[in-house]
Chains A and B, each alone.
Chain A
């Protein structure tokens, strides 16, 4: 297929077994709504992998399929496999998947509004039994100094602070893999910069592998090692972050900077047109 011809990074195919491998999955909601149609991707240990695509492409569904949270929305993986550390994890309860080391930071942060910052952080460590929770809370405060001063309810934090808390809560679980769903959503450009600097730091300093879902392709590719682009439940393009950032189509449709004179607004483009070019 033409899709294969576009794979510019053969290393991803031949390297050591990836931390996470999603293999040709199909996801159905409420037994009828087919949302993912044979999606595959790999997340190698230690990398940041970006999953990009427009609204409704199925990015959040992909993350929920990996974390098992699909079940809470009456969704189901009807075909294909999700493998983590070489073991099949689809079908496992979401709380058990957290114990295996995958932690999802859901879209819209989903911090617990009627709890304090500290209580939210302590809940992040729910699955842990060791006694280093206190020092980890300290580490979260070092990553996000502004959270230390917030003693009230988490519901009163600003959007950016809530995103920081959501990421801090994920750190508290000491996961091997964090699934991050649109961390830039609703944040000011300045705050986006701050949050993404932290995401990179998390990856570099703590060695956490991250699968990063974003609509904001530019900022996502600026921190990612590798990227996938999805449309209507399928991967349509993938490659190293550098390659994607310089790809003409990606530039035009996701970075809004292609084509000079005939540059069109992203909003006005029909999705079939994009697919026609890539497939």
Chain B
């Protein structure tokens, strides 16, 4: 029975880990392209989920369309945030920019509470069955969808950065803004687009989590959970964010197992990712996949 529990927790860890990975990628995308540490990443999930929820409940729009509209809205929203709030800050000290994103986080959270209340709201039922049987384990349909969507997003990111023109342009901008401009890339466009994509993809994650847990301000904790994930992976590595996300998801659940079976501390679930973070950073200061520049003399 215990091994059954362990297996269940590992699967939960992987499922939640892929979601952390997706949000982590969004975080890293902004950081890489525009060197902004976005403390309001979790709020992108929150706003996206509330928007979708509102479209579904207040307008009775079918899920697919509500979802699509919410994601497109968040794309525009992310671009607007970059253009209106962050663009004027280009060239300001990093600490000022960080303070602004922290301010954004507080503001958007309060705004959402004001608009939608403080209680968690369930999504209307979306799937015909709530749980399905996978290899003898009960898995929520929404989690299956979540994993499917997460993997699709990761594949999409991989394609985008490897083959699309705009993806290459973003990597060039991350390498050097001056070099990017010398190639004819508009770094303003790249900044705006990176925020747009980041917000839109975060909204997907927000909706998925909202379907499982209901929509509430708890969603924005994802923004905090993502920190150990991306720092573990190395702040500037998209792939590292995915691995970091999986590690954090697994650690949380394994921590819970160890805690409930042996330690009985009751809070290992929450803190173990941060312990792991400290240990890994002592061994690898740039994170698991963070890069120092390639140098050739």
Cross-chain contact A98 with B178 (CB below 8 angstroms) = no
Q: Does B37 contact A (CB under 8 A)?
A: no
- Given A113-B293, A114-B294, A156-B296, do A123 and B182 touch, yes or no (CB 8 Å)? no
A98 touches B294 (CB 8 A): no
Closest approach, in angstroms, between the C-beta of B295 and any C-beta of chain A?
8
| A110-B176, A126-B165 as given contacts; A115 in contact with B181, CB under 8 Å | no
B residues less than 8 Å from A69 (CB atoms): 178, 181-182
- A112 near B169: Cβ-Cβ < 8 Å: no
- Write out the residue numbers on chain B whose beta carbons fall within 8 Å of the beta carbon of A158: 296
- Does B172 count as interface, using CB distance less than 8 angstroms? yes
Partner pick for A106 among B168, B179, B294, CB 8 A cutoff: B179
Q: Given the complex, which residues of A lie within 8 Å of B177, measured CB to CB?
A: 72
Whether the pair B171, A113 counts as a contact (CB closer than 8 A) is no
Of B105-113, B183-191, B192-200, B270-278, the one with at least 4 CB within 8 A of chain A: B183-191
* Subset of 8 A-B contacts with CB under 8 Å: A110-B178, A119-B168, A126-B165, A127-B183, A155-B293, A155-B294, A156-B294, A169-B183
Which 7 A-B pairs give the minimum distances between C-beta atoms? A98-B184, A155-B294, A127-B184, A94-B181, A95-B186, A72-B178, A113-B294
A122 to B172 alpha-carbon distance, docked (Å): 11
Is B291 part of the binding interface, using a Cβ–Cβ cutoff of 8 Å?
A: yes
Q: CA separation between A238 and B39, bound complex, in Å?
A: 57
Inter-chain pairs besides A123-B168, A126-B169, 13 sampled, C-beta below 8 Å: A93-B181, A95-B185, A110-B182, A112-B171, A112-B172, A114-B171, A114-B175, A115-B171, A119-B171, A126-B165, A153-B294, A155-B294, A173-B183
Chief secondary structure at chain B's binding surface: helix
Would A155 and B296 be within 8 Å (CB), given that A123-B169, A126-B183, A126-B184 are in contact?
yes
Contacts of A58 in B (CB 8 A): none
Assess whether A124 is interfacial by the CB under 8 Å rule: yes
**Per-residue contact bits, chain A 78-107, to B (CB 8 Å; 1 contact, 0 not):** 000000000000000111001100011010
User: A62: CB under 8 A from chain B?
Assistant: no
A141 to B295, CA, bound (A): 25
A94 to B189, CA, bound (A): 13
A127 and B181 CA atoms in complex are apart in Å by 11
Contacts of B169 in A (CB 8 A): 123, 126
Given the known A-B contacts A112-B171, A114-B175, A155-B296, are A98 and B165 also in contact in the complex, defined by CB atoms under 8 Å?
Answer: no
Give chain B nearest CB distance to A101 CB in angstroms: 10
* Interchain CA distance A110-B185 in the complex, whole Å: 15
Question: What residues on B are CB-neighbors of A110 within 8 Å?
Answer: 176, 178-179, 182
Would you give the 0/1 interface string for B140-169, flagging 1 where the beta carbon is closer than 8 Å to chain A? 000000000000000000000000010011
Distance A155 CA – B172 CA, assembled complex (angstroms): 13
CB of B274, distance to nearest CB on chain A (Å): 30
Q: Which residues of A lie under 8 Å from residue B175 when comparing CB positions?
A: 112-115
Asked whether B182 lies within 8 Å of A106 as measured between CB atoms, the reply is yes
CB distance from B287 to the nearest CB of A (A): 16
Measured CA separation A73–B295 after assembly (Å): 23
Q: Chain A: which residue is nearest B162 at the CB level?
A: A119
Residue of B nearest to A93 (CB): B186
Closest A residue to B293 by beta carbon equals A113
Interface check A67, CB cutoff 8 A: yes
| Residues of chain A within 8 A of B171, CB atoms compared | 112, 114-115, 119
Is the beta-carbon distance between B294 and A122 smaller than 8 angstroms?
A: no
Q: How far apart sit A171 and B83, CA to CA, in the bound complex (Å)? A: 33
B179: contacting residue among A93, A103, A112, A157, CB under 8 A: A112
B32 to chain A, nearest CB (A): 11
CB distance from A136 to the nearest CB of B (A): 15
Q: Chain A contacts of B168 at CB under 8 A?
A: 115, 119, 122-123, 126
Taking CB atoms, residues of chain B closer than 8 Å to A155 are: 293-296
Nearest Cβ distance between residue A248 and chain B, in whole angstroms?
A: 38
Q: Chain A's nearest CB lies how many Å from the CB of B114? A: 40
The answer for the CA separation of A112 and B168 in the assembled complex, in Å, is 11
The residue of chain A having its C-beta at the shortest distance from the C-beta of B171 within the complex is A115
CA distance A114 to B184 in the complex (A): 19
Question: Beta-carbon contacts of A164-179 to B below 8 Å, as 1s and 0s?
Answer: 0000010001000000
A69–B183 alpha-carbon span in the complex (Å): 11
Q: Give the CA-CA distance A236 to B179 in the complex, in Å.
A: 31
How many Å lie between the Cα of A110 and that of B182 in the bound state? 10
Chain A 159-192, CB-CB to B under 8 Å as 1, else 0, gives 0000000000100010000000000000000000
C-alpha spacing A110/B178, complex, angstroms: 9
Q: Which residues of B contact A104 (CB under 8 A)?
A: 182
Q: How far is the CB of A140 from chain B (nearest CB, A)?
A: 15
Per the 8 Å Cβ criterion, residues 248-297 of B in contact with A are 291, 293-296
Q: Mark A43-75, 1 if CB is under 8 A from B, else 0.
A: 000000000000000000000000111001100
CA A95 – CA B165 in complex, angstroms?
Answer: 15
Residue of A nearest to B91 (CB): A74
Contact A99 B184 (CB under 8 A): yes
- Give min CB distance, B49 to chain A, whole Å: 35
A73 to B176, CA, bound (A): 13
Bound: A72/B186 CA distance, A: 12
Residues in chain A near residue B295, CB distance under 8 A: 155
Residues of A within 8 A of B185 (CB): 95, 123, 126
Which residues in window 73-88 of B have CB below 8 A to A? none
Q: Are B291 and A114 in contact (CB under 8 A)?
A: yes
